[in-house]
Structure 1
Amino acid sequence: MFEFRFYAVASGRMASELALVHDMAAAGAPEVPGGPPGAGETLWHRYGVPGPLGSWIAHSGRQMPGFLYIIKWDSLAQRDANFPRFWTDPFWRARRAQLTDGMTLVDSIETWLMDPLPAWERLAEPAGGPVGGVHELRLLPVVNGAQAQAAAALEQADLPALMAQGARLLGLWEVVIGPNRPQFVLMLAWPDAATQARGWAAADADPAIIARREDETVRHGRPVYGVADSWLMEPMAFNMPAANLGQTFGGAK
């Protein structure tokens, strides 16, 4: 199970929010509150919280400025047991108080729990190192009852067209706990923003995709996807995501 966490960061507080996440999820955990960073485990690891698969600043989209990261859990039970244990840690409390200095860091937090769609594995690229460029998170509301058709359209038409234009598939999920269900979450990496804009323009004009949308309208009265939310994001150097977000798939080409 994957957890997506989006933070609408208070104005002027992004540097403090990044420092807090870095100290919890990337830096070595100190032995005592206020002590120097330790070697090996992070503070999250100490409490059984997996390190994030990637962390990003959002540069366009709703609720700007935004910061987000994605965690993979073994189960919902693991998440529900370990996150509350971490929140009681004295170093976290002290560091948070130091960085907030009596002021709000974030205005709101959205949390979604997601399951990977099989199409992600079937379209996965070979395992590899860090993936830079411009990353895109796109939220795709799906016609209720048409999830199978929507997933097939992504796998057979939309994603191949986007990948032919230079997109790399980082992840593809269905939201199982969160707002606006049913909804798919798509994460892509592009070489740059110009390629991203050209890629979507080319996909929108692709005859196979146009035919697919027309067929969906006949079957469902509308395309299987509603109006999408989209963020363009900068991956953080201290938590740069790998190809496929580091996931290993047996069927990857």
Structure 2
Amino acid sequence: MLHQLRIYEIFERNKAAFHARFRDHAARIMARHGFKIVAMWETRSATRTEFAYILAWPDAETKAARWASFMADPEWTEIKRVTAIEHGDLVGAIEDRLMVLTDYSPRL
């Protein structure tokens, strides 16, 4: 089992729109493409607000295939286009990390 940590820089000016898009659209479409979202958080530092979430994958090949199908999904493409027109950019920098449990980690 692999876990993927995604961290998105989000903006205070349109944070509500970001959360609405992820909650109402992205998460639903991701589920349709076989994503397993483990948990989601909003975090803050002195310089930025972030949205972080963890995905669980059986293997790297499945992760790659499902991300490709999600990114090519016509509904997702249209939602991103419309929300960008209405609210501007909803996401700044994106961090993407693949996490593999150590042999001494408690199992999830």
Instruction: Find the counterpart in structure 1 of residue 96 from structure 2.
Output: 230
Between structures 1 and 2, the one with greater helix share: 2
Query: Mapping of 1:155-174 within 5 angstroms?
Result: 155-174=23-42
> CA distance change for structure 1 residues 167 and 207 in 2, over 3 Å: closer, same or farther?
same
Instruction: Find the counterpart in structure 2 of residue 152 from structure 1.
Output: 20
> CA distance change for structure 1 residues 240 and 167 in 2, over 3 Å: closer, same or farther?
farther
Q: Secondary structure at the match of 1:150?
A: helix
Corresponding pairs, count = 108
Q: Secondary structure at the match of 1:226?
A: coil
1:158–1:203 Cα contact (<8 Å) kept: no
> CA distance change for structure 1 residues 156 and 237 in 2, over 3 Å: closer, same or farther?
farther
Superposition CA RMSD, Å: 1.8
Letter in 2 for 1:158: A
Q: TM-score, normalised by structure 1?
A: 0.39
Q: Secondary structure at the match of 2:91?
A: coil
Structure 1 residue 182: deviation in Å? 1.6
Q: Secondary structure at the match of 1:238?
A: coil
Find the aligned partners of 1:236 and 1:219 in 2 and give their Cα distance. 44
Find the aligned partners of 1:152 and 1:241 in 2 and give their Cα distance. 32
Structure 1 residue 162: deviation in Å? 2.1
Higher relative contact order (Cα pairs below 8 Å, separated by 6+ residues)? 2
Structure 1 residue 166: deviation in Å? 2.6
The yes-or-no answer on 1:210 pairing with 2:77 is yes
Instruction: Calculate percent identity across the aligned residue pairs.
Output: 26
Between structures 1 and 2, the one with greater strand share: 2
